[in-house]
């Protein structure tokens, strides 16, 4: 059957969530599908949970070696033409399979499909649903640059042709975190995706530990861990990706195209906290003075501080402050870029306050104030002999 699915669940010490996860998978699975759980060295009662689902759910027990290794072994032990990897603490939405299969049915060239999700918390056995979180509707050719900015497509929301996994190679076993992010970038580079805004799975929010047995991290540490691993992935990719790959269509036909690609790459770097690399690209873009920034270029630069990870330390990052001042001094285009970046910081202030993160909002406001003062000083220096009212002195 060309539409048969291998459902793969890597698990480690998540017995309390695994039952609900497997129930949801079996509700979506057809008679020709297979379900395989890879127990990556669990020390809780995972084995007892799996025994309840046998023989419909098959399982493999391994010594703990991390998620990437577990997934690579699972792929070698399954054989259906489509692969659906589900996290052990998440739940598939009813009808999710049908929604993802529609992409393959309507577009023969599609290599993988993906859909939206809802976050939820479980209280006394009842699901309390929240918002989706970061989600970015985009065209197929926009998925790679959008994903480089931030991950919003998750494995439990993806249905992938097995041949595509075989084409791009195994999961990177040297990574302890961001394994799925690194793989998604590889998939997006060489495949045709199909996305739907319909919900295909529910993403559980909880305070449990994450990572392999040797690299367990608390929930409060996970954002820093994600940023560190994502930043390293993006840093390495900067040398591997052609500049054109940062653009939809992956083609640079003019100086203006090159400028947009530089702005896009700079935005990616800034969102990952790679300030020096970001300003290197922004300065190169500011040197392309063929015309003023257009709307696409401006909106792209505004997103530079759109990620909570990249904007986290901007209030105390001297490199960011000095980089913005230098950019503003460089050219009219540089000044337009600096203004666009600053406007992104204003959005972060509003978002933080609305979401109840008052202290964070005040930190961003402090940074915005410092940037405004630096900008005024810079502009006064560039117009000597005038006071703040514009009159000669």
What are the pLDDT digits (tens) for 177-187?
899 999 999 99
Same domain, 177 and 273: no
Please check whether residue 111 lies inside any domain of the structure.
yes
Same domain, 202 and 246: no
Please check whether residue 229 lies inside any domain of the structure.
no
Same domain, 149 and 107: yes
Please check whether residue 292 lies inside any domain of the structure.
yes
Same domain, 195 and 256: no
Question: What pLDDT does residue 285 have?
Answer: 98
User: Is residue 265 very low, low, confident or very high in pLDDT (cuts 50, 70, 90)?
Assistant: very high
Query: Do 84 and 189 contact (CB within 8 A), yes or no?
Result: no
Please check whether residue 237 lies inside any domain of the structure.
no
- Domain's final residue, options 210, 227, 257: 210
Question: What pLDDT does residue 318 have?
Answer: 77
What's the whole-number mean pLDDT along residues 260-280? 96
Same domain, 136 and 178: yes
pLDDT in tens, 129-171: 888 888 999 999 999 999 999 999 999 999 999 999 999 999 9
Would the pLDDT of 329 be above 70? yes
* Residues 6+ away with beta carbon under 8 Å from 22: 9, 35, 37, 49, 53, 57
Same domain, 257 and 176: no
Please check whether residue 391 lies inside any domain of the structure.
no
Same domain, 205 and 76: yes
Question: What pLDDT does residue 356 have?
Answer: 77
Which of 343, 344, 348, 342 is closest to 361 using CA atoms? Answer: 348
Same domain, 152 and 298: no
Question: What pLDDT does residue 221 have?
Answer: 67
Question: What total number of domains does the chain contain?
Answer: 2
Same domain, 62 and 189: yes
Same domain, 167 and 261: no
- Domain's final residue, options 165, 192, 210: 210
pTM score, whole prediction:
0.87
Mean pLDDT for the chain?
Answer: 88
What's the whole-number mean pLDDT along residues 321-331? 92
Please check whether residue 217 lies inside any domain of the structure.
no
Q: Which domain holds residue 334?
A: 242-381
Question: What pLDDT does residue 375 have?
Answer: 58
- The CATH number of whichever domain residue 25 belongs to comes to 3.90.550.10
Dihedral pair phi/psi, residue 311, rounded to 5°: -90, 0
Please check whether residue 99 lies inside any domain of the structure.
yes
CB burial readout 262-289, b (16+ within 10 A) else e: bbbbbbbbbbbbbbebbbbbbbbbbebe
pLDDT in tens, 333-384: 999 999 999 887 776 677 667 777 776 666 666 666 666 655 555 555 555 5
How far apart, in whole angstroms, are the C-alpha atoms of residue 152 and residue 197?
12
Question: What pLDDT does residue 390 have?
Answer: 47
């Amino acid at each position: 059957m060309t539409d048969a699915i291998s459902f793969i669940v890597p698990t480690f010490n998540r017995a309390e969530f695994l039952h609900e996860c497997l129930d949801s998978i079996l509700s979506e699975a057809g008679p020709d599908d297979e379900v395989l759980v890879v127990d990556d060295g669990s020390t809780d009662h995972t084995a007892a949970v799996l025994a309840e689902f046998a023989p419909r759910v098959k399982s493999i027990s391994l010594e703990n070696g991390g998620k990437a290794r577990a997934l690579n072994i699972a792929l070698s032990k399954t054989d259906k033409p489509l692969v659906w990897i589900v996290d052990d603490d998440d739940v598939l939405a009813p009808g999710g399979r049908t929604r993802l299969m529609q992409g393959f049915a309507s577009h023969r060239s599609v290599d993988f499909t993906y859909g939206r999700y809802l976050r939820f918390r479980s209280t006394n056995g009842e699901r309390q649903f929240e918002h989706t979180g970061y989600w970015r509707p985009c065209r197929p050719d926009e998925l790679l640059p959008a994903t480089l900015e931030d991950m919003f497509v998750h494995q439990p929301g993806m249905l992938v042709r097995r041949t595509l996994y075989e084409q791009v190679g195994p999961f990177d076993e040297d990574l302890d975190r961001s394994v799925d992010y690194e793989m998604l970038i590889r998939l997006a580079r060489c495949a045709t995706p199909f996305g739907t805004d319909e919900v295909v799975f529910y993403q559980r929010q909880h305070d449990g530990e994450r990572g392999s047995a040797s690299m367990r991290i608390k929930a409060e540490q996970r954002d820093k861990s994600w940023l560190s691993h994502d930043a390293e992935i993006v840093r390495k990719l900067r040398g591997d990706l052609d500049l054109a790959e940062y653009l939809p269509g992956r083609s640079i036909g003019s100086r203006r195209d090159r400028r947009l690609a530089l702005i896009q790459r700079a935005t990616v770097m800034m969102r990952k906290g790679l300030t020096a690399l970001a300003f290197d690209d922004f300065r190169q873009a500011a040197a392309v003075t063929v015309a003023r920034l257009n709307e696409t270029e401006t909106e792209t630069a505004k997103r530079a501080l759109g990620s909570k990870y990249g904007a986290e330390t901007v209030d105390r990052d001297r490199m960011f402050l000095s980089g913005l001042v230098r950019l503003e001094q460089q050219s009219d285009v540089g000044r337009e870029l600096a203004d666009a970046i600053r406007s992104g910081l204003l959005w972060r202030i509003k978002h933080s306050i609305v979401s109840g993160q008052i202290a964070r909002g005040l930190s961003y406001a402090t940074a915005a104030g410092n940037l405004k003062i630096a900008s005024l000083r810079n502009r006064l220096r560039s117009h000597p002999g005038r006071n703040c009212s514009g009159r000669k002195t």
